[in-house]
Structure 1
Amino acid sequence: MIKTRRAFRPFYLACVALAGVAFIAGCASAPGVVPKSTGWVKDEVSDSYVFGYPLVLMDVAREAATGSGPGQAEVNTLRHAQALPPVGSASPPAPNLDTLSSSGWLDLGSEPVLVALPDSRGRYMDVRALDMWTNVVWSSGAQPGARANGIKAQTIAFVPAGWKGDLPARAQRVEVPSRYVWLLVRIQTHGGDLAAIRKLQRGIRVAPLSQYAASGARGGGRGDPAASGATASGDPVAPGSPREKVAALDAGGFFDRLAQALEDNPPVPDDPHALKILGDLGVHPGDPVALPSGASDALAAGLADGRERVATPPSNLLAGNGWLWVGDNAGNYGPDYALRAYTAYAQPGLGTRDDEVRARVSVDSDGHPLNGANRYVIHFTPKQLPPVRGFWSITAYTTSGALDEDMPVRIAFGDRNGARRNRDGSLDVHVSAERQKAGNWVPTPHGDFQLVLRMYAPKREATDGSWQPPAVERQ
């Protein structure tokens, strides 16, 4: 159930009782007139918005990313990023400067889709697949014997729920409850290693089962339709991020989108109670929405409340010294709809606890907003260094999650790009808009900003709450 200031409630019985009282009162004054209460609408709209937000967001993102237009790729293909995101970019929020991504949407509506991955030969490479509710259905980091740096060659077959049939030998079967899957591949970059990354990208194959055998066992070249067949990064895309587009929907637009997406993507976990509440609102999978009439104020209030709840960090985030991050439940949210919705809103595409941790901070040790007019230091004691099996980095963004075009340089500082420890093994990271001679420097915007600490292939203490990042101290 939703774990915020309210949970889903059995509003239906209360509504029946209220309707009965209203009917009796109406009979005493105006025969044949039955006043209807709409007091329940606000709460049910708010709860249902939190419940359905991840699915609507993913559906909007899928629609924006698939097709033959600029910045798009057809379903069952990948779009390869071959350059770091441009300054000013905030889609997705806090774009990654450590890796180049290949992403695409798989359509399991008619048959399984197979993904063949190459051996990354020691280069960090992680792969994750999310269903339409943002649950991670498969990730390379969560596999037995997973490597801290990179992956081994393997083939994964994503199959529709209940599908029966034969798959190629040694293909790992992954049953998916939703029709669509978001596949995300990230390969570490050192800046001047584009040729090696392109080679790995070309080695990824995505193909429906009916085309897989005919296209051969290995990834093909540019002319191979069964290969990734993607466009390069930097192409123009439709204005407005998926998050902004969802926020612009009114109640009718949001719930209509939810109803249509529910037809092919049933709730995970299966929740008849949540569907019943949606039914009370006139929202049924695949059908036109018929929201309660005469309740426009309650609908608007419920929608505003739902938006606020989605954007508010839930109480069960891990927290320490001003930093916030998702713990062990990342990627597998169960009925914790508040955490699922917030993560979809703030950290789209987040993997499991074995894949990555993204910790964020926007205040210093005194609780004041971080601002580029000041200088800061983050002091890691020898035992407080980010606990990873892979690597870690810190990047600064504007408060909206964009890369500021006024930043002096565009880098993610971390243990793989010259981090120098003190004699006692501790590490001081300097944070400022002006270049620091001391080294270990995170460049920031000149105004208010936030920091994101990324831990790739994190150790368990990074997600179980036993470790915390140090505070950001103003100098």
Structure 2
Amino acid sequence: MIKNRRELFSLHWTCASFAGLAFLAGCASAPSATQQSTGWIKDEVADSYVFGYPLVLMSTARDAAVGTDPGQAPFNTLRHAQALPPIGAANPPQPSLDTLDSTGWLDIGDEPVILSLPDSHGRYVDARVLDMWTNVVWSTGPQFAAGTAGARGLRAQTIAFVGPGWKGELPKGAKRVDVPTRNAWVSVRIQSNGARDLTAVRKLQRAIRVAPLSVYEGDAAPAVPPRGNASGIAGANGTPAQQVAALDASGFFSRLADALPDNPPTPADPHALKFLADLGVTPGDPVKLPKEPEALAAGLADGRERVATPPSNLLSANGWNWFGDGVGNYGPDYALRAYAASTQPGIGTRDDEVRAVVTQDSDGNMLNGANRYVIHFAANQLPPVHGFWSITAYTKDGALSENAPARLAVGDRNGARRNRDGSLDVVVSSTRSRTGNWLPAPRADMQLVLRLYAPKPQATDGSWQPPPVVRQ
């Protein structure tokens, strides 16, 4: 049975907003005198951490990726991955073996930025743009859902991303997309069918164009696109998530205050800004946090724990967990937004991608590649997609295992064989299987990721579920 319990973030927010008042007795047990004087600090720090986490994470990722140093690129420029991720890769976590990615950061503060996508001639392409709060402002998923894309690929199209307050003329045929934040993150993922297919993928990559309006119309010189690793998010001090996790309260809220003027909350939330003002956090100004280090530290720890805790409105079945309809456009569901940003950075909407994760078998035991498992898809329960689907095995930390005998994902993209009745079996083990569709696994504790590209509605509305992972 699929679980999809709703417990909105606003309930916790309501309790916190009455901290120190008589109503608090309904939210927690009676506090001591010291807790009464500082309890509001702890609560509002925790709530504000969850609220601001996506913006701080995105600004950290942007600062690591934008520049002229090796591994960086200027604004409004794409970095193209030239090869599939190597063995041992873990940045980003759970790297995909299905696509080559082109990513970049947009600055639309002064003028629109134009994205031109070529006709992919039937090859699956997934493109999306996220604002600085990780809301998806535009993606190609709805084109597949509406049947306006090709069989699996995209038709040529031009999109203009426009910042707040801009007025002017756009190129003929360009679709206007308004973005509420000055910066945005763009990702274009092109289906790859292995090493022999990379030349065709790179040709499509070269046909993608990102340029400010003045450059697009020939009034300014274009930037030279760099090559190399497309992620561009790992700095000297680790991934953006690791860097954010290492910040103390002053560091976190200083980053948040710096980012807010150009990237106001979406949706506008004066209540959240009031909490920040209570803590001495004003957009664009130096922070002046209360001089209560214990309360600040306790609130920060609570906030971190809440960001890392799966919210109750995740979909869950047979040990798998995945995001439902609310992903990508979060509204005031700040708990879901923060958790999604921390666990699957850059995740799209329900029409773009589903990424289901499982770490335990059907008996509740940790998955380990030294064992043999079978995932049995009934003929009428194959992953529902407009695009394609795949399963990949990773270490428990989300890396491609160096001990796996092959670097392979199993799915309909690479010709997974069906049984005579139309069902399909995936055999997961570190030891090669001569039956079924063998998925190589690390000889250690592991996790499996099932990806559905351009999923159909039943993948996120609760009417479909992945089958259990059964140990044999």
**Shared fold per TM-score greater than 0.5:** yes
For each residue in 1:126-173, what CA deviation from the matched residue of structure 2 results, as whole angstroms up to 9, or x when unmatched? 110000000000001224523451211111110112211111111111
**Which of the two has higher C-alpha Rg?**
1
Number of residue pairs matched?
A: 451
Deviation at 1:377, TM superposition (A): 0.4
Do the aligned residues in 2 keep the contact of 1:79 with 1:230 (CA within 8 Å)? yes
Structure 1 equivalent of residue 284 of structure 2: 286
Between the aligned partners of 2:381 and 2:35, the Cα distance in structure 1 is 63
Structure 2 equivalent of residue 197 of structure 1: 201
Structure 2 equivalent of residue 22 of structure 1: none
Structure 1 equivalent of residue 357 of structure 2: 360
Structure 2 counterparts to residues 387-466 of structure 1, below 5 A: 387-466=384-463
Between the aligned partners of 2:239 and 2:128, the Cα distance in structure 1 is 21
Between the aligned partners of 2:223 and 2:321, the Cα distance in structure 1 is 39
Structure 2 counterparts to residues 173-192 of structure 1, below 5 A: 173-191=176-194, 192=196
Do the aligned residues in 2 keep the contact of 1:115 with 1:207 (CA within 8 Å)? yes
For each residue in 1:313-364, what CA deviation from the matched residue of structure 2 results, as whole angstroms up to 9, or x when unmatched? 1110011100000011121111110111111011111111111100000000
Structure 1 equivalent of residue 14 of structure 2: 9
Q: Normalising by structure 1, what TM-score?
A: 0.91
Letter in 1 for 2:175: Q
Question: Helix, strand or coil: the match of 2:37?
Answer: coil
Between the aligned partners of 1:233 and 1:262, the Cα distance in structure 2 is 29
Structure 1 equivalent of residue 140 of structure 2: 140
Deviation at 1:470, TM superposition (A): 0.3
Do the aligned residues in 1 keep the contact of 2:62 with 2:105 (CA within 8 Å)? yes
Equivalent of residue 233 in structure 1, options 229, 235, 251 = 229
- Whether 2:269 is the aligned partner of 1:271: answer yes
- Whether 2:324 is the aligned partner of 1:327: answer yes
> CA 1:335 to 1:431, structure 2 compared with 1: closer, same or farther past 3 Å?
same
Deviation at 1:443, TM superposition (A): 1.0
Deviation at 1:439, TM superposition (A): 3.9
Structure 2: segments with no counterpart, 5+ residues: 1-5, 24-33
Deviation at 1:11, TM superposition (A): 5.6
Segment drifting more, 248-257 vs 415-424: 415-424
Do the aligned residues in 1 keep the contact of 2:367 with 2:445 (CA within 8 Å)? yes
Structure 2 equivalent of residue 123 of structure 1: 123
Equivalent of residue 299 in structure 2, options 294, 302, 311 = 302
Between the aligned partners of 1:138 and 1:43, the Cα distance in structure 2 is 34
For each residue in 1:31-74, what CA deviation from the matched residue of structure 2 results, as whole angstroms up to 9, or x when unmatched? xxx99911111111111111111111101101111111111111
Letter in 2 for 1:210: S
Structure 1 equivalent of residue 49 of structure 2: 49
Do the aligned residues in 1 keep the contact of 2:121 with 2:154 (CA within 8 Å)? yes
Do the aligned residues in 2 keep the contact of 1:90 with 1:403 (CA within 8 Å)? yes
For each residue in 1:169-220, what CA deviation from the matched residue of structure 2 results, as whole angstroms up to 9, or x when unmatched? 111110000010100000001111122111111111111111111179xxxx
Letter in 2 for 1:314: P
Identity of aligned residues (%): 67
Question: Helix, strand or coil: the match of 2:339?
Answer: helix
Between the aligned partners of 2:35 and 2:438, the Cα distance in structure 1 is 66
> CA 1:151 to 1:259, structure 2 compared with 1: closer, same or farther past 3 Å?
same
Do the aligned residues in 1 keep the contact of 2:20 with 2:36 (CA within 8 Å)? no
Deviation at 1:10, TM superposition (A): 7.4
> CA 1:35 to 1:169, structure 2 compared with 1: closer, same or farther past 3 Å?
closer
Equivalent of residue 162 in structure 1, options 160, 165, 171 = 165
Between the aligned partners of 1:215 and 1:438, the Cα distance in structure 2 is 61
Between the aligned partners of 1:325 and 1:12, the Cα distance in structure 2 is 31
Equivalent of residue 211 in structure 1, options 215, 218, 231 = 215
Question: Helix, strand or coil: the match of 1:306?
Answer: helix
> CA 1:12 to 1:351, structure 2 compared with 1: closer, same or farther past 3 Å?
closer
Do the aligned residues in 2 keep the contact of 1:202 with 1:227 (CA within 8 Å)? no
- Whether 2:92 is the aligned partner of 1:89: answer no
Structure 1: segments with no counterpart, 5+ residues: 19-33, 217-224
